[in-house]
Structures are given as structure tokens and as C-alpha cells.
Amino acid sequence: MFSWMGKENAQGQHDVLQTVTGGLQSLYTRKLLPLEEHYRFHEFHSPALEEADFKNLPMVLLVGQYSTGKTTFIRYLLEQDFPGMRIGPEPTTDSFIAVMYGEQEGSIPGNALVVDPKKPFRKLNSFGNAFLNRFICSQLPNEVLRSISIIDSPGILSGEKQRISRGYDFCQVLQWFAERVDRIILLFDAHKLDISDEFSEAIKAFRGQDDKIRVVLNKADQVDTQQLMRVYGALMWSLGKVINTPEVVRVYIGSFWSKPLQNTENRKLFEMEAQDLFRDIQSLPRNAALRKLNDLIKRARLAKVHAYIISYLKKEMPAVFGKDTKKKELIQRLPEIYIQIQREHQISPGDFPDVKKMQQQLEMYDFSKFYAMKPKLIEAVDNMLANKIAPLMSMIREEESSMPTQMVHGGAFEGTMEGPFGQGYGEGAGEGAEDEEWVVAKDKPVYDELFYTLSPINGKISGVNAKKEMVNSKLPNSVLGKIWKLADNDKDGMLDDEEFALAKHLIKIKIDGYELPNDLPLHLVPPSQRKPSHNAE
């Protein structure tokens, strides 16, 4: 049954993507692609998008130094091995492995992969054989892969090893993937927090994709609580030097493998963090179409800026003599040119490409062969951004609302949804749900002693007297008000001994860090107020 529902849901997600991405692809081809081709955008920034780029499933890219558990993390999610998988303490994954759904289990080598029009990897052909020999697609019929694809990257080296050339531009490949994936997960080992030069360069390759980045502090069960606090602080300090954003990046703490925990004192923390990470990954199919739209908008803004830069350089070039001298001068003045274009066209500085990288690329070009400004191409993109995007966004929302909640199913995700090991099961407000005895009863004698010190009249205490005791919890009034509403089950503005005990139980739930229910669950209703059940004769 679960497998059938997973297939139905995956098909629904696929249909939504097909409808919306068809519109996206049409917009790109008619409005943006002509501008990109005219100003040689693909040579400077990113290859042209193809049909597979719009129609592929959401992708998750895993990046980290060797032996941080990237491959083990994938196996943990899938709950099975995949072709090409190797796990060990030394750098075992020396290739980029695209783990994708396939009816038959097997591997597709890189050179064959980049000629397949149904896969979104054709433009990786430009990185040459040195890369393609280190790129494979691992296919298997796994339920998780019906909704997402996972890209495993080579372990990033440290020390002397990082000086060994890979034979291809590793950071450029990472940047290519970063522009196309839905989530980038950086993995760190609790025992190995140093960010090597190669890792630092890799993270910098994700510039402009900060909203996609999540961090996992893996193997956290191998240290105790005090050490874990220090490790977390050291990681945040290291990341702050590399990821230059004012917002603090989200770090998930845990041990993402199927072996017993070495240190169980933080078990609850690890479970909560794993659930948060799973929810983040599970949301990817639902947000896939919106992410593609967002990436198209970012691409359009960069393409416009690129067109302004190229046409400016063309305009400044002399007709006949002194071309080389002028070219050197313009490259040197590029930071000033950026500022001038920003002011002239009211463009945000964040939309401009990295100035140093742009200067290096411009060295290879003859500026006199660039094209001058063609306003109609710019107007077409402006029209797309101003008038075509909003209807498409409305279509995405309508498609999403008409579909059931789209989630990743199968593998490790299946164990998080149902049964006694789901998050919160038997905890907080859910405690005692399966017990015959009222869960509050075990602490009621203690609560009764307090109750009778609050001057009950006819077996009930007033709201004023209840407040005197409840505020001792130091919970804010907004929370205590909700607790009062739940505890005063008969809505008479007073609490009897059972209702007071319930209020104290709810206070304890909140202080222990659990959320309060919006409505009082049946198992928490005081026994004297429960309606008798009548069995049909």
C-alpha cells in the first residue's frame, strides 16, 4: 500500500513539474536565450539550459572532506547500497556519482551520460575526459529516488593531498552543479573541523546559492555533550570565515548512519535534528517548480548585467588603432565600470559577477568583436520579469494546492512518519495516549496538595487563585492563557482538582520543551468529564 501511494504521489509531482516547467522552458527559449547568445553569456557564466534542466527531479548535492560520511549518508537515506558505492576511512569516492532512479540497477559511465538528452548533464561535456572519466550515474529502483536525485562528490582533500591536480577544474564543476541542484549539503566530521584550502575554494564556488546551503555536523555521537558544544562553536567560527553572509547557516547535528550510537546522552537532540533535516529534504519536491522559477529569475538578472558590461566594453573600443592598450585599460577599470553601470541602470551590486573572475575571463577576448547594445533583447527580458513571471508563479501555487502534499517517501524517510518511533510519539502531549489510566494521575497526589492550599470553594479554585500558582512556572502569559483554555475543559472559569492537575501537567509539558496541542486530546480529558462510551448491543 505504501509503495502504491508513493508511486501515485511521485506521478502527481511529475505532472505538476511537467505543466509548470513547460511554461518556464518556453519563456527561457523565447525571451532569455536570444540575449544570452547575442552577448556570449554561455562562454562567461553558464551553458544554455536544455529541456532536461527544466524537467529533472529535485537534486541534492553532498560536499565535504574525505571520510565525513557523504556516501554513508546516502546509504542511510536509501537504506540500501548503490552501484559504485565505496566506504572507508581513506578518500574512497574519487568520482562524482549521480544516484538516480532506474527500473534496473546499474551504472552509466560519464561519456555515455553526457549524450543522453533525458539526463540534465549534457553540458558537463565541456569539462573534458579528465572529468568524464570521474563521473558516473548510479541507477536503482529505490522509492526515495522517485522524488529526488542525489549527487555524491569526491572527498575534498587536505594537507599535501590537496596539491595533487585532479585534471579538471573541481570548483567549476561544483559551481555547475550548485546552479542546478535544489539543496547543497556540506558535511563535517565532529573530529575533523579544519576547512582545507580546497574545501574553502569549493564553498566559495557556491557564491549566490546561499539559500540552498545546509550544513550537517556528522558523527556527533562520538563526542560527549561538553565536547559537542565546543565542536559546534568551532564549526560556526570556521564557517563564518568562509561563508560571507550576515545570516547564520543552519547546522544539523547528528550521526547519519544505521549503527548504534556510541554516546547516547544526546539521543533526543540527534532525533530532533534528523527530523528537521528530513523535513527540509522532503519539502524539495513540493518547492521544485518554484526553485526552478527562482533560478531562472537569478539567471535573467545576471544575463542582463552581462549584456550591459559587454556592450559597454564594445562602445569604449577604438575603431582602428590602440585596441590592445584600451583593452588593458578597460579590464583594469572594470570595478569602476561596474559602479557606473549600477548607477546608470539602477542595478543592485549583488547582481554583478565576481569582478576578479570577470577580469581574468576578459583577457581572452577581442572586445571589438563584441556586440553593441540591442535594446529589444533587454526589453524582452524586462517584459518577461515584469509580466510573465507573476502568472507562472500563480500557476505553480494553483498546481500545488490542487495536489496532495508532495513528500519524499521510502528509505529512512518511511521510518519517520508512522509507528511508535515517529517524532513525538508517546512524548509531550502524546504521552499516555495508549494507557488505560489517565496519565496525569501518577502526579496528581502532589498536585492535590498544592490545590488545597489555594482555598478551593465547593471543590473548585478561582482563576485568580490558580494564576498565583501558575505564574510560578515563569512561562509567559500567552502560554499560560493557552494552558488555562485547555485545562478549563468545562469552560466554567474555575478549576476543579482534576483540571488543576491537568494545568500543571500541561505546564510540565511546555517546560520540558514540547509543544502544546491546539485542542485537548481525548486521553488528557479528566476522567470525570469523559462521556461514557455505549457499545451497540
Look at residue 402 and tell me if it is in a domain: no
Q: Please give, one letter per residue, the 3-state secondary structure of 215-240.
A: EEEECHHHCCHHHHHHHHHHHHHHHH
Mean pLDDT on 198-224: 88
Residues 6+ apart with CB under 8 A from 287: 58, 182
**Same-domain pairing of 30 and 146:** no
Of 224, 250, 283, the last residue of a domain is 283
Mean pLDDT on 308-334: 91
CA distance 214 to 236: 13
Mean pLDDT on 167-171: 87
CA distance 138 to 119: 12
CA dihedral for 117, 121, 124, 128, sign (positive or negative): negative
Q: 343-352: string of b/e by CB count within 10 Å (b at 16+)?
A: eeeebeeebb
Phi, psi of 97 (to 5 degrees): -120, 115
Look at residue 137 and tell me if it is in a domain: yes
Are 122 and 51 in contact by the 8 Å Cβ rule? The answer is no
Question: Is it the case that residue 290 has pLDDT exceeding 60?
Answer: yes
**Bridge partners (DSSP) listed for residue 62:** 152, 185
Average pLDDT, the chain: 85
Provide the percentage of residues in the chain whose pLDDT is more than 90: 46
CATH number at residue 495: 1.10.238.10
Look at residue 10 and tell me if it is in a domain: no
Are 140 and 105 in contact by the 8 Å Cβ rule? The answer is yes
Amino acid 523: pLDDT: 92
Confidence of residue 536 (pLDDT cuts 50, 70, 90): very low
Cell of residue 29, nine digits = 527559449
Look at residue 271 and tell me if it is in a domain: yes
Are 216 and 249 in contact by the 8 Å Cβ rule? The answer is no
Are 495 and 488 in contact by the 8 Å Cβ rule? The answer is yes
**Same-domain pairing of 504 and 375:** no
Look at residue 146 and tell me if it is in a domain: yes
Amino acid 484: pLDDT: 94
**Bridge partners (DSSP) listed for residue 188:** 217
**Same-domain pairing of 378 and 499:** no
Mean pLDDT on 84-109: 81
Question: Is it the case that residue 370 has pLDDT exceeding 90?
Answer: yes
Amino acid 315: pLDDT: 92
Mean pLDDT on 425-442: 84
Quickly list H helices, 98-251. Answer: 110-113, 128-132, 170-180, 197-204, 225-242
Confidence of residue 497 (pLDDT cuts 50, 70, 90): very high
CA dihedral for 262, 267, 270, 271, sign (positive or negative): positive
CA distance 287 to 280: 10
Are 72 and 256 in contact by the 8 Å Cβ rule? The answer is yes
Of 283, 311, 326, the last residue of a domain is 283
Question: Is it the case that residue 88 has pLDDT exceeding 90?
Answer: no
Amino acid 415: pLDDT: 58
Look at residue 179 and tell me if it is in a domain: yes
Confidence of residue 17 (pLDDT cuts 50, 70, 90): low
CA distance 272 to 339: 47
Amino acid at 320: V
Confidence of residue 15 (pLDDT cuts 50, 70, 90): low
Mean pLDDT on 455-481: 91
Amino acid 5: pLDDT: 39
Higher pLDDT, 532 or 177: 177
Question: Is it the case that residue 11 has pLDDT exceeding 70?
Answer: no
Amino acid 294: pLDDT: 87
CA distance 471 to 473: 5
**Same-domain pairing of 502 and 478:** yes
Confidence of residue 3 (pLDDT cuts 50, 70, 90): very low
Beta strands 96-101 and 135-140 are: parallel
Residue 456 CB burial class (10 angstroms; 0-12, 13-18, ≥19): middle
Question: Is it the case that residue 375 has pLDDT exceeding 90?
Answer: yes
**Same-domain pairing of 150 and 125:** yes
Amino acid 377: pLDDT: 94
**Same-domain pairing of 442 and 345:** no
**Same-domain pairing of 215 and 324:** no
Are 64 and 156 in contact by the 8 Å Cβ rule? The answer is yes
Residues 6+ apart with CB under 8 A from 156: 63, 64, 65, 66, 162, 196, 198, 199, 202
Confidence of residue 424 (pLDDT cuts 50, 70, 90): low
DSSP three-state, residue 442: helix
Look at residue 138 and tell me if it is in a domain: yes
Amino acid 165: pLDDT: 66
Lowest-confidence region among 52-66, 95-109, 175-189, 399-413: 399-413
Confidence of residue 310 (pLDDT cuts 50, 70, 90): very high
Confidence of residue 84 (pLDDT cuts 50, 70, 90): confident
Are 60 and 181 in contact by the 8 Å Cβ rule? The answer is yes
Look at residue 171 and tell me if it is in a domain: yes
Provide the percentage of residues in the chain whose pLDDT is more than 70: 88
Question: Is it the case that residue 445 has pLDDT exceeding 90?
Answer: yes
Amino acid 207: pLDDT: 83
Of 254, 283, 312, the last residue of a domain is 283
Amino acid 85: pLDDT: 80
The terminus-to-terminus CA distance of the chain in angstroms comes to: 34
Mean pLDDT on 64-84: 87
Question: Is it the case that residue 206 has pLDDT exceeding 50?
Answer: yes
pTM of this structure: 0.74
Question: Is it the case that residue 466 has pLDDT exceeding 70?
Answer: yes
CATH number at residue 351: 1.10.268.20
Are 530 and 489 in contact by the 8 Å Cβ rule? The answer is no
Domain carrying residue 261 = 59-283
CA distance 42 to 49: 10
How many independent structural domains does the chain possess? 3
Mean pLDDT on 99-117: 92
Among residues 514, 501, 421, which one has the least CA distance to residue 469?
501
Among residues 46, 51, 56, which one has the least CA distance to residue 28?
51
Question: Is it the case that residue 419 has pLDDT exceeding 60?
Answer: no
Q: Please give, one letter per residue, the 3-state secondary structure of 160-179.
A: HHHHCCCCCCHHHHHHHHHH
**Same-domain pairing of 165 and 33:** no
CA distance 450 to 443: 12
Question: Is it the case that residue 494 has pLDDT exceeding 70?
Answer: yes
Are 118 and 450 in contact by the 8 Å Cβ rule? The answer is no
Separation in Å, CA 202 to CA 198, 324, 360, 371: 6, 34, 19, 33
Confidence of residue 91 (pLDDT cuts 50, 70, 90): low
**Same-domain pairing of 339 and 314:** yes
**Same-domain pairing of 45 and 65:** no
Lowest-confidence region among 18-27, 364-373, 448-457: 18-27
**Same-domain pairing of 387 and 269:** no
Higher pLDDT, 297 or 86: 297
CATH number at residue 238: 3.40.50.300
**Same-domain pairing of 247 and 367:** no
Residues 6+ apart with CB under 8 A from 404: 9, 12
pLDDT tens string 248-275: 788 999 988 877 888 888 888 888 898 8
CA distance 413 to 6: 12
CA distance 419 to 214: 28
Mean pLDDT on 129-141: 93
